[in-house]
Amino acid sequence: MITLTFPRLLLAQEALPQGHYSLPDNGDVVGQTTIVTASQDDTLLDLGLNNNLGYNAVTQANPEVSIWLPGEGTRVLLPTRYILPPGPREGIVINIAELRLYYYPPAKPGEPATVETYPIGIGRMDWKTPLGTTTITAKVEQPSWYPPQSVIAEHAENGDVLPRVVPPGPDNPLGDYAIILGIPGYLIHGTNRPDGVGMRVSHGCIRMLSDDIENLIYRVPKGTTVRLINQPVKFGWTTENLLEMQAHPVPEETPEAMSARISKAFAIATEHANARGFLIDYADLKKELEDPSSVARSLLLSSRPFPLKVTFYDRLTLHHALYSQLDTSVDNDGKANAASGAETNGVPVESR
């Protein structure tokens, strides 16, 4: 008889629902990037929504794949590996840049702490979702929608007359459930247009898939803290002591703002690396910051930036300026992690 041994964390995660993860004891990364094979009837959007991903995340990870007709046999990358947002791991954290919600439910006695994550839709550029810290003030089933005058006026300009009140039903954009926030006029709610989840399409509120908010609303207590942040670049350490990063596009960004964002990210990455003597692949970091894919990836430098004797190189702490501009041909998702000796850290896993 052959006995297979699995890490306790992996066994625990097997029993959790999709999008639910045990929090690592020492680390900032949960989940695993996977690859699925599209069937003849699949759309890229369907593959995303069926795997806890919104529109932007799955299209950014697969820029060469047709949205509506990927084609039978096409391999689709699912960025279902997440670097946890910075700050306290409690309550609800909504990362606007990521179009994603994280919920840290109170841990039950004798059970490990967990995190749940869901794709969301947020406000358009002209109806921005606010940032800051608030709380849940109420929860409502079958809500009626009272469109504000600004929304009524916008619809009127397009020849669409909105009623003062939209009752519950298939035409109600709030869906079947709404979580009311302490910020006046803003909600976390369901939707009658699931394709908009993972996009910037709302008038400022946070949209969730119907099944997701139904799952969440009955378990999140009134008074729960909700932090709304805008973090387009996240860094985190794995349990194997590898530094990973995850970058998301910043819409309508000026060249000056992009340059400032990249410089800030370089500084943060260098601070992380210096604290643990970690060698960063700055060429790959720069490439990802310039063209974000939303895929969590290792930053381990897998090849030497210049020829050195092994005994000297192994003891050398390199400053990023020595190799930050060097080109590399390293497959970051593969070779970097193979060099580390980690089992699957950051490497896409084939889903069968």
Is residue 296 within 8 Å of residue 82, measured between CB atoms? yes
Is residue 331 within 8 Å of residue 339, measured between CB atoms? no
CA pair distance 182, 175, nearest whole angstrom: 20
Supply φ then ψ for residue 123, to 5 degrees: -70, 150
Alpha helices in the chain (DSSP H): 8-14, 44-49, 55-61, 149-157, 210-217, 255-276, 282-290, 310-313, 335-340
- CA quadruple 294, 295, 297, 303: dihedral, nearest 10: -90
> Which residues, at least 6 apart from 287, have a Cβ–Cβ distance to it below 8 Å?
none
Catalytically active residues are 189, 205
CA pair distance 183, 302, nearest whole angstrom: 47
E strand or H helix at 319: none
What is the DSSP code (8-state) at residue 166?
A: B
CA pair distance 145, 176, nearest whole angstrom: 11
